[in-house]
Amino acid sequence: MNVEKVRKGFADHFNGATGSVYASPGRVNLIGEHTDYNGGFVFPGAIDKGMVAEIKLNGTNKINAVALDLNETATFGLTEEEAPTRSWARYIFGVCREIIKRGGKIGGFDTAFSGDVPLGAGMSSSAALESTYAFALNDLFSLGVDKFELAKIGQATEHNYCGVNCGIMDQFASVFGKEGSLLLLDCRSLEYKYYPFNPIGYKLVLLDSVVKHELASSAYNKRRQSCETVAAAIRKNHPEVEFLRDATLDMLNEVKADVSEEDYKRAEYVIEEVQRVMDVCAALEKGDYETVGDRMYGTHHGMSKLYEVSCEELDFLNEIAKKTGVTGSRVMGGGFGGCTINLVKEELYDNFVKEAFSAYTEKFGHAPKLYDVVISDGARKLS
């Protein structure tokens, strides 16, 4: 993380001053995709890439912020009328507003920040930014807000100030992350549990397809609708089924004649994915990374063939992983582009990367991007 860059940038912009330094990570999700809005489980972990900010209270009601990576500045106040126009500044402003709405007393500050979470690669740079400022302001103003509320402040910032109707997973992982552990999060109850993730002899590797197909938001809404339609059909026979998370494949088959073939396929994927997450939990407790990898491939197949949110580039990267003996590989995130997440034995790593780069470049005319990630701690004060 760019601590030195932030310290230098802060001193340069604010006449040699020094403040307190905070950091929050981006995240990966090992398994559990499109399960959140079906009341199911997700399995994220915080990573060793994130956002770093230096902050010093300035005794006014104004915030002077510097985005070091963009070389841009913004000054804004704490009332709704003083909202900044720059999109990155709205994240900081939104966090301040959400704290104020909850009764938190805060004032102005000077700040500079920088990140090494790749933008647009599905590792939640925005959640890392929100969590950094929520954690920092809670600490600097001694607000006594608990971690759950910090994650909700980040989520509400996305909803109310950045126009993104996201779930809670990204902010949750960024705040609650723990080195050497993944988080099983129940998206219905928000109960969570840490599971050991310390795959000795393996690397966790993201390959970024560097494509984003335009389908994403309309396709997302359509799939969500499919899931709700099938859950409603099943509920007629089984009133206890609130979400697809509560359904079994037997229940799904009972309504096969009453739902469209497309809706059936979408629901089949979700019900199977909920089970795969449970299988991975059991496997991690035994240190059984072969089963983890097998279920990752199962998720990719389901997302590609049943949920139909993969794309040619992601399927190609998944095939290369299979061919080169990678333990597990799947599309990570909503789909239609972005990254595959790969669990790779160390002795196969060099060959996998070499094959992936040469074959992908030959087929698509540009190389993928590579990110090695390590599971790390959540939001924290650095100095």
Catalytic site residue from 110, 170, 246, 263: 170
- Per residue, what are the HEC states of the chain? CCHHHHHHHHHHHCCCCCCEEEEEEEEEECCCCCCHHHCCEECEEEEEEEEEEEEEECCCCCEEEEECCCCEEEEECCCHHHCCCCHHHHHHHHHHHHHHHCCCCCCCEEEEEEECCCCCCCCCHHHHHHHHHHHHHHHHCCCCCCHHHHHHHHHHHHHHHCCCCCCCHHHHHHHHCECCEEEEEECCCCCEEEEECCCCCEEEEEEEEEEECCCHHHHHHHHHHHHHHHHHHHHHHCCCCCCHHHCCHHHHHHCHHHCCHHHHHHHHHHHHHHHHHHHHHHHHHCCCHHHHHHHHHHHHHHHHHHCCCCCHHHHHHHHHHHHCCCCEEEEECCCCEEEEEEEEEHHHHHHHHHHHHHHHHHHHCCCCEEEEECECCCCEECC
Between the alpha carbon of residue 60 and those of residues 72, 76, 97, 146, the distances in Å are 21, 11, 16, 26
Contact 378, 48 (CB under 8 A): no
Phi, psi of 198 (to 5 degrees): -140, 70
Pair type for strands 63-67 and 109-115: parallel
Which amino acid is it at 207? Answer: L
- Annotation says 372 is catalytic: no
Q: Single out the residue of 55, 108, 65, 109 nearest to residue 88, CA to CA.
A: 65
Q: Tokens for 145? A: 């807000």
Q: Known catalytic residues?
A: 170
